[in-house]
């Protein structure tokens, strides 16, 4: 019997060009190791020194859901801010 675990995870993607591929790799890793990522709790934060308009960024999807771009995210109790 395989036990399914949920984990608060941070996926670091060095470039948005490969963002969707990195998400697929993380999902496959989770599947192979009994972990599941919650698409409804997943947000995308872009850390950059440049001003950024999220309207021009590519859509990223997880579990047939469009992921939300955000300026901040709370990870393990720490608030991470994009700028």
Among 11, 45, 14, 43, which Cα is nearest to 27's? 11
CB 78 within 8 A of CB 71: no
Query: What is the pLDDT at residue 77?
Result: 84
- Which residue ranges make up each domain of the chain? 5-81
Residue-wise pLDDT for 13-48, tens only, equals 666 677 888 888 888 988 898 888 888 888 888 877
**pLDDT at residue 2 greater than cutoff 80:** no
Contacts of 68 (CB under 8 A, 6+ apart): 43, 44
């Amino acid at each position: 019997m395989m036990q399914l675990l949920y984990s608060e995870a941070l996926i670091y993607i060095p470039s948005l060009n490969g963002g969707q591929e990195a998400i697929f790799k993380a999902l496959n890793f989770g599947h192979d190791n009994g972990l599941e990522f919650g698409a409804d709790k997943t947000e995308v934060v872009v850390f950059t020194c440049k001003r950024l308009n999220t309207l021009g960024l590519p859509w990223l999807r997880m579990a047939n859901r469009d992921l939300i771009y955000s300026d901040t995210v709370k990870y393990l109790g720490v608030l991470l801010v994009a700028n």
